Amino acid sequence: MTHSFEAMMQELPMVAIMRGIEPSEVLEHGRVLIDAGFRIIEVPLNSPNPFESIRLLQEAYGENTLIGAGTVLTMEQLAQLIATGAGLMVAPHTDPEIIRAAKAAGLYTMPGFFTVTEAFAAIHAGADALKIFPAEALPSLKVISAMGAVVPKEVRLCPVGGVSPDNVGDYLDAGARGFGLGSALYKKGQSVEQTRLNALAFAAAWKERS
C-alpha cells in the first residue's frame, strides 16, 4: 500500500460508503469517487456479493486507494475480508477481539462506538480511528467536543450517519476529524453521474474548511 490511512485522511478525511452496490457497477462508481479526491472506500457486507465488489475495487484501485469492508461483525467475515487483499475493516460496533485480529493481519481499523467506554475499549484494542455511530442520534454536537477532550488527539473521531455537505462544517467545529458518508453520497441504484456530483459536493465542503 502506497500511503497510510492517516496520510489518506489528511488528503480528504472522508470514507465513501457504498452500501447496496452491485459488483457489476462498483468500478464505475469507484472511479468517479477517486476522481473527486476520495482515497478510502468501503463496501458494507450487507450489500449484494460484497466480497466480490471489494476484490474488484482492490484489484483495480488498491495500489493508491484504501479499500475495505463495512459492517464487519464476525471473525469469519474478517477472514473473508483479509482474503480479498483489502486493507480496511469498518464495523458498526466495538468488538476488541475483531479489532485486534484485524490489526494483527495488517488492516487499518475503524470500529463504531457511541460511548466513551466503548471508545477507549476500541483504542486499547488498536483502533486507528473511531466511527461515531449513529451520529444523527447524538443529542447535541457538544457530545463530540466532550469526547474530543478525552480521546487521544491522534485518534480521529469520525461521525457516520446523517452527514451531508451542508453540516460538514458544523461537525468539524465540534471536533470531528473525519467522516463516513452513507446515503448522502451513494444510494443503491443511483447513477454514476449522481455519485460523481455528490462526491464533488462533499469534497468542496471539506476544501472550504481546509
Which residues are annotated as catalytic? Answer: 42, 131
The one-letter amino acid code at 162 reads: G
Q: 171: how many CB neighbours lie within 10 A of its CB?
A: 23
Residue with cell 463516513: 180
Output b/e per residue, 26-53; b: 16+ Cβ within 10 A.
beebbbbbbebbbbbbbbbbebeebbbb
Beta-bridged to residue 160, according to DSSP, are 180
Look at residue 69 and give its three-state secondary structure.
Answer: strand
Residue with cell 460508503: 17
Cell, residue 103: 490489526
* Structural contact between residues 99 and 78, judged by C-beta atoms closer than 8 angstroms: no
Q: How far is CA 1 from CA 11, 44, 88, 103, 120, in A?
A: 16, 21, 11, 15, 28
Report how far apart the first and last C-alpha atoms of the chain are (Å, whole number). 25
